[in-house]
Structure formats: C-alpha cells, structure tokens
Amino acid sequence: MTLADLQKRIYQNKVNRGFNVTDIGKEIVLMTEELGELAKAYKNSDKKPAREISNKEEIIDAIGDLMVYCIGLCEMLGISSGDVLAKIVNSNENRTHTGQM
C-alpha cells in the first residue's frame, strides 16, 4: 500500500467514525496530546539509548498515532503527505545543522 493510499484510508476512517475532518486547530491540539503521549512513553523508558528501550511498543503506538494525525491533516488540507515528506527530506539534506538542540 502506498503512502497516498494510506492517506486516503486514514481520512476515510475519520469520516466513517465521525471524527474531525474540518477543524485544523482541533487536529493540532489532538496532535499535541499525542506528542505528550510519546514524551510520556519515552519518560517511562528511563531515557535509555534507543536500542536499549524496553517499552518500544508503547513508543511505536505513540509514533503511529502522531503519524496518523499528520497524514490525516495532509488530506484535510488537500496536500500529498508524500510531497510534504519529500520536500522536508530534500530541505534537510541541503540545510546546515549545528548538531545542537
């Protein structure tokens, strides 16, 4: 299944289940909540290095939820999530990073 197919499927699931498909602000709030779930999952891992994390399933679930919201938002906006990803990957490859957070 392609990313474009998944994007349509995610959106259709939102429609079928009566979830939000019009309010961008609401989606951003929901995405923020999911990001909080990811942070909580990471905190539960005792902040170990990635390869040593024992609760990967919890982290995978949180990442998946975030991805679904991001891809669904793309469909709400009428844009290709694949194009969004390609654009940022290309941009990141050409961007100078300091390596610091």
**pLDDT at position 100, please?**
67
The answer to whether position 85 is within a domain reads yes
Nearest to 39 by CA among 79, 68, 66, 10: 66
Report if residue 101 sits inside a domain: no
Q: What is the pLDDT of residue 95?
A: 86
Segment (H or E) for 33: helix 24-44
pLDDT one-digit tens code per residue, 7-18: 999 999 999 999
Nearest Cα to Cα of residue 34 among 74, 65, 58: 65
- For residue 24, being part of any structural domain is answered with yes
The reply to whether 86 falls in a domain is yes
99 in any annotated domain: no
Domain count, the chain: 1
Supply the range of the domain harboring residue 27. Answer: 3-94
The answer to whether position 100 is within a domain reads no
Q: pLDDT digit string (tens) for 27-79? A: 999 999 999 999 999 999 888 888 999 999 999 999 999 999 999 999 999 99
CATH number at residue 49: 1.10.287.1080
Question: How many CB atoms sit inside 10 A of residue 21's CB?
Answer: 14
